[in-house]
Structure 1
Amino acid sequence: MGILKKIKKHFERKEKLKDLQTQDIVNIHLYDAAKKTILFASRDFPAHDKESGANRLKELILIYKELGYNCILFAPHIFEDNSYVKFYQQHNVIVYIENNKYKNIYAFISSFKNIDYVWFNGPLALNLFYKKMKSILPRTRFIYDMVDIHFLRFKRAIELEPSRISLKKNYKHFFRLETVIAPQLDYIIAISDKEKEIMAQYADKKKIITVSNIHYPKIDISERKNFSESKGIIFIGSIHEPNIDAVKFLYEKIMPLVWKTNPELEVSIIGNVAEKLDIKQYPKFKFLGFVESIEALFMNSKIMVAPLRFGAGVKGKIGQAFEYYFPVVTTDIGAEGMKLTDQKNVLIANDEKSFAEAILQLNTNEELWNTLSQNSIDSLRAFSPEEVKEKLKTL
């Protein structure tokens, strides 16, 4: 952050605290010295209803609460009037917010010090906070949660767009963070066994633990619309590059082939991915933006598509679809790390022709649609809270 931005942030903080009169940390009175304490550090405060990685972090924090830990959540420049702060306050999580008692998070942990673990949520948090927190808390154990392998995501993007300089710069930056800095920590959390194997080339395999996304059925299968009642296609995504590319690929390459056979098939796009697109160039797509509750859309639509051509990690959008018994068409990249079988759990297609054919097949084949829908329970088994809780106990 440049000096002018720092000065601006300083005065903004001062004015905001003058209005709010925040004197201390949210829920600090709930701290129990008899319990172990874990601090979760994130570059951005987790908006769990807008982004799958943030939802995963929320679930992990709540599991640690169940395991009997004091849980402290920190992200910079967050104030007590933030609606997500209120969510965690209601769930008895201690939340570090900007306040009049401590100048910053480092002042807080310097005086508090009773922290057994620090969990860095992704490489941006690792880059921002690890070095200084390590110097303040020399006896604390540090955990790096990759969320996904970022350098792998950019490596795959370069294969599609080899002339983009920004992709190469990001690849070098994240490669260093994830292969040089991350192995210095006590534990590395991989999102899948496949990514664990990749990271074992750079770090001691004994310190790498797989903790995947957390998903469980949100409804009973009888509650969702059946094959004949449901209609339309859904894509959901945030402003990550793989999602932007997927929307373009879907509109420019896949759907023209689908519309030749079925010109009435509608496509709705959920999420803030639209903020990075000129939606005038996509007149046949319906952009819904942020949807507070996706339940009705998932229960009434016929097909979830995830035509991802690059990326890394386990895709939350696919697990989210399974939570609502919602059949999915995706690519090998989309299904990566989830142990899914083509024609049993999902339909997998990697080029525009086969992807279009898979959409048309699923839209007309009731038996196949029912198979994928009913197998959602099997698809979710590896992502249950109970499974993740057992993994976290090993740390």
Structure 2
Amino acid sequence: MQNHLVIIGSVWPEPTSTAAGTRMLQLIAMFQKEQYQITFLSSASKSDYSYPLENLNITTHPIKLNDTSFDSLLSVLNPNIVLFDRFMIEEQFGWRVAKNCPNALRILDTEDLHFLRKARETAFKQDRIVQPEDYLSDIFKRELASIYRCDLSLIISEHEMELLTQTFKVDTSILHYIPFLVDPISKSLLNSIPAFSERKHFVSIGNFLHEPNWQTVLQLKKLWKSIKKVLPEAELHVYGSYATEKAKQLHNVKEGFLVRGRAESVEAVFHSVKVLLAPIPYGAGLKGKLLESMLFGLPNVTTEIGSEGMQGDLEWNGFISTTDEDFIEKAIELYQDNTLWQQSQKNGIELINKRFEKSLFENKFFTKINHLLANLNQHRNQNFLGQVFQHQTLQSTKFMSKWIELKNSVQ
């Protein structure tokens, strides 16, 4: 009998808009390779950029929050595995899954650790370094509770694995490291894409609705004048989906700071420019823009936050800067030095092949999944804190949901 995976998404995947959308399609491809039947559910509205999941033979259903129609649908679907896309979705639907499909393996895809991003945002806005107490927000408590309630949580970054296991003592049995998953790159790629001499200008890219991306654009606006002064012919092309009015107001042709909006083809854009600039001030997880720069042979300059969890002990695909002055200097150097640029490009290919090539992770993941499916009761009994959170936290979540459902029914 074919295994059945139900994914409950916070949104319908948009791989052309967000790294999270790309990540979801990577997970879907991995399960389909193992012959899983997949059903995707979401209470969000679809956009013009939502991926046509039906083209992948995935069944889709819109669902409602705080409504028993979800219970009926899930009972009919009767999946082996339910995957929650972000902890907020587990909060909303986890108790219903536990009630209607108690034998289904419950997996949380964290995307990134929201509490880590929030702690860094707080420190950034107060112009200071992160303190241990910054982590201990309401988001931290909610996210950790969700991790414990699930049978397995997917962690995208080695740094986040270390934070959870070393600092917060989360047992490794309920965590699994699985980064971005891509096909290997051959060195012949270098012969098939435009050379250093055929390129010009800088680029930045990122969904404008994501606050760390917006702060990155503001950092670029601050740094760009110093780069432009040394490289007067260069332009900075700022791409990103869902460009806001405040972002468009930064567009300045005279300064060579050009806000372009959504990129129709990231590959085409990345093949035309010399350097990606990503002075990311805070965030969490892995940065899709930096992975794509490596995939498409484009060197970059970023920050320690930008490169976090990606480099390992390998050389970076360009430079990792620690100060504004260093960022400006390295951006100019990488833009002008052909030999340095080519070596950085090769470093990116090595990083992809040694740290993100999907075959490095697929077998380990399904070995873990199959073990959990065969030993689910034992696994849950050992995760006794998960049972505590399941009982305590979801009682309040459940009754709040029931109250909203009743309130909606009488309106």
Tell me the TM-score normalized by structure 2: 0.80
Query: Paired residue for 1:122, among 71, 82, 86?
Result: 86
Change (3 A) 1:151 1:77: closer
- Note if contact 2:7-2:83 (Cα within 8 Å) is conserved in structure 1: yes
Residue of structure 2 in register with 1:277 after alignment: 246
Q: Secondary structure at the match of 1:35?
A: coil
Residue of structure 1 in register with 2:359 after alignment: 386
Q: Secondary structure at the match of 2:339?
A: helix
Q: Secondary structure at the match of 1:377?
A: helix
Query: Paired residue for 1:66, among 25, 29, 33?
Result: 33
Equivalent residues in 2 for 1:40-51, closer than 5 Å: 40-51=7-18
Whole-angstrom distance in 1 between the partners of 2:96 and 2:245: 34
- Note if contact 1:188-1:209 (Cα within 8 Å) is conserved in structure 2: yes
Query: Paired residue for 1:364, among 336, 339, 350?
Result: 336
Whole-angstrom distance in 2 between the partners of 1:319 and 1:91: 24
Residue of structure 1 in register with 2:275 after alignment: 303
CA drift of 1:376 comes to: 2.2
- Letter aligned with residue 49 of structure 1: T
CA drift of 1:193 comes to: 2.0
Change (3 A) 1:310 1:82: closer
Q: Secondary structure at the match of 2:88?
A: helix
Query: Paired residue for 1:112, among 77, 81, 84?
Result: 77
Question: Once the two structures are superposed, what CA deviation does each residue of 1:179-206 show, in whole Å capped at 9, x if it has no partner?
Answer: 2232121001111222112112252222
- Letter aligned with residue 364 of structure 1: Q
Residue of structure 1 in register with 2:180 after alignment: 213
- Letter aligned with residue 269 of structure 2: L
- Letter aligned with residue 105 of structure 1: F
Whole-angstrom distance in 1 between the partners of 2:31 and 2:190: 29
- Note if contact 2:83-2:108 (Cα within 8 Å) is conserved in structure 1: yes
Whole-angstrom distance in 2 between the partners of 1:371 and 1:60: 31
Q: Secondary structure at the match of 1:375?
A: helix
- Note if contact 2:236-2:258 (Cα within 8 Å) is conserved in structure 1: yes
Question: Once the two structures are superposed, what CA deviation does each residue of 1:84-132 show, in whole Å capped at 9, x if it has no partner?
Answer: 46x2212111222469xx984332112332x111111112322222122
Residue of structure 1 in register with 2:385 after alignment: none
- Note if contact 2:41-2:63 (Cα within 8 Å) is conserved in structure 1: no
Whole-angstrom distance in 1 between the partners of 2:332 and 2:179: 31
Identity of aligned residues (%): 23
Whole-angstrom distance in 2 between the partners of 1:273 and 1:83: 11
Whole-angstrom distance in 2 between the partners of 1:288 and 1:250: 14
Tell me the TM-score normalized by structure 1: 0.83
Residue of structure 1 in register with 2:326 after alignment: 354
Q: Secondary structure at the match of 1:215?
A: coil
Whole-angstrom distance in 2 between the partners of 1:315 and 1:70: 29
CA drift of 1:274 comes to: 2.9
Instruction: Say yes or no: does 1:323 pair with 2:290.
Output: no
Whole-angstrom distance in 2 between the partners of 1:313 and 1:77: 23
Equivalent residues in 2 for 1:98-247, closer than 5 Å: 104-113=69-78, 115-162=79-126, 172-200=137-165, 201-216=168-183, 217=185, 220-238=189-207, 239-247=209-217
Q: Secondary structure at the match of 1:231?
A: coil
Moved more, 309-318 or 174-183: 174-183
Whole-angstrom distance in 2 between the partners of 1:320 and 1:60: 17
- Note if contact 1:183-1:202 (Cα within 8 Å) is conserved in structure 2: no
- Letter aligned with residue 54 of structure 2: Q
Change (3 A) 1:277 1:83: closer
Q: Which runs of 5+ in 2 are unaligned?
A: 128-132, 370-411
Question: Once the two structures are superposed, what CA deviation does each residue of 1:341-375 show, in whole Å capped at 9, x if it has no partner?
Answer: 68643311022100000100001111110001122
- Note if contact 1:215-1:320 (Cα within 8 Å) is conserved in structure 2: no
Change (3 A) 1:357 1:82: closer
Residue of structure 2 in register with 1:23 after alignment: none
Q: Which runs of 5+ in 1 are unaligned?
A: 1-33
Whole-angstrom distance in 2 between the partners of 1:64 and 1:155: 33
- Note if contact 1:343-1:368 (Cα within 8 Å) is conserved in structure 2: no
Whole-angstrom distance in 2 between the partners of 1:171 and 1:249: 27
- Note if contact 2:108-2:152 (Cα within 8 Å) is conserved in structure 1: yes
Whole-angstrom distance in 1 between the partners of 2:115 and 2:315: 31
Residue of structure 2 in register with 1:261 after alignment: 230
- Note if contact 1:189-1:208 (Cα within 8 Å) is conserved in structure 2: yes
- Letter aligned with residue 114 of structure 2: H
- Note if contact 2:241-2:263 (Cα within 8 Å) is conserved in structure 1: no
Question: Once the two structures are superposed, what CA deviation does each residue of 1:278-310 show, in whole Å capped at 9, x if it has no partner?
Answer: 432342321121122122111110001111111
Q: Secondary structure at the match of 1:107?
A: helix
CA drift of 1:339 comes to: 2.1
Q: CA RMSD in A?
A: 2.6
How many residues get paired? 353
- Note if contact 1:117-1:141 (Cα within 8 Å) is conserved in structure 2: yes
Whole-angstrom distance in 1 between the partners of 2:126 and 2:48: 41
- Letter aligned with residue 195 of structure 1: E
- Letter aligned with residue 357 of structure 2: S
